[in-house]
């Protein structure tokens, strides 16, 4: 058995030291009051399927080490204080099924890298400070089932791309949000279940 140490630190400089066997499939650093953490050692966990860092005080996080983790299934970063996050390394996480970034302070987000995540089923972005969001890349995520966007700061959202997500079962949008979509999609033979409650609200263009 080989154990690797993951070093993290609290806001006040306290050390958070956790050791994990390199054969583990899941690393859980939930609710440790972590403000910064060094994920560079994750390359030594070839079987990693789940990484949880939720419920901490993380402002910035470098996900670049995940670029080579094609087997990663779940990434949970919810409940932190992040204002920005670079998701580009996730283009290497081609098996990713669940991404949770809810309950942060994200102001902008670029979802383009998720176009490589063909198995993505759940994307949680609710309770952030997003002022706008481009969902167009999600049209390539045909297995997407759950998308939550409530309690952000955008006033309008274009859901055209979601008409191309045949398995979408749940879509969370605020009631006062202006919802738009391309008019040609109105005649689509099969409309995803999650979009049906919003059809009367959509402003077609």
25-56 pLDDT, tens digit per residue, is 999 999 999 999 999 999 999 999 999 999 99
153 by Cβ neighbours in 10 Å (0-12 / 13-18 / 19+) ranks as: exposed
Residues in the chain where the model's pLDDT stays below 70 = none
Q: Which DSSP letter does residue 73 get?
A: -
The C-alpha atoms of residue 86 and residue 199 are separated, in whole angstroms, by: 33
Determine if the pTM surpasses 0.85.
yes
**Which residue, 8, 116, 106, is CA-closest to 72?**
116
CB contact at 8 A, 114 and 137: yes
- Give the pLDDT confidence score for residue 1 in this predicted structure: 84
- Give the pLDDT confidence score for residue 204 in this predicted structure: 98
* Structural domains of the chain, with CATH: 23-204 (3.80.10.10)
Q: How far is CA 94 from CA 97, 116, 173, in A?
A: 9, 6, 27
The phi, psi pair for 14, rounded to 5°, reads -70, 145
- Give the pLDDT confidence score for residue 121 in this predicted structure: 99
Lay out the sheet containing 34-37: strands in order across: 15-21, 3-10, 34-37
Distance of CA 9 to the CA centre of its chain: 24
């Amino acid at each position: 058995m080989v154990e690797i140490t993951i070093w993290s630190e609290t806001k006040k400089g306290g050390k958070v030291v956790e050791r994990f066997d390199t054969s583990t499939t899941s690393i859980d650093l939930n609710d440790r009051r972590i403000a910064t953490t060094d994920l560079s050692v994750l390359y030594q966990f070839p079987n990693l399927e789940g990484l949880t860092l939720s419920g901490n005080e993380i402002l910035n996080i470098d996900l670049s080490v995940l670029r080579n983790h094609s087997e990663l299934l779940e990434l949970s970063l919810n409940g932190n204080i992040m204002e920005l996050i670079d998701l580009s390394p996730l283009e290497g996480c081609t098996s990713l099924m669940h991404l949770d970034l809810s309950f942060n302070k994200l102001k902008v987000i670029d979802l383009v890298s998720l176009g490589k995540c063909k198995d993505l089923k759940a994307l949680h972005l609710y309770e952030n400070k997003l002022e706008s969001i481009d969902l167009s890349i999600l049209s390539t995520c045909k297995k997407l089932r759950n998308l939550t966007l409530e309690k952000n700061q955008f006033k309008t959202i274009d859901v055209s791309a979601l008409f191309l997500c045949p398995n979408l079962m749940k879509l969370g949008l605020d009631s006062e949000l202006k919802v738009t979509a391309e008019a040609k999609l109105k005649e689509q033979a099969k409309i995803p279940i999650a979009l049906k409650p919003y059809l009367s609200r959509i402003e077609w263009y």
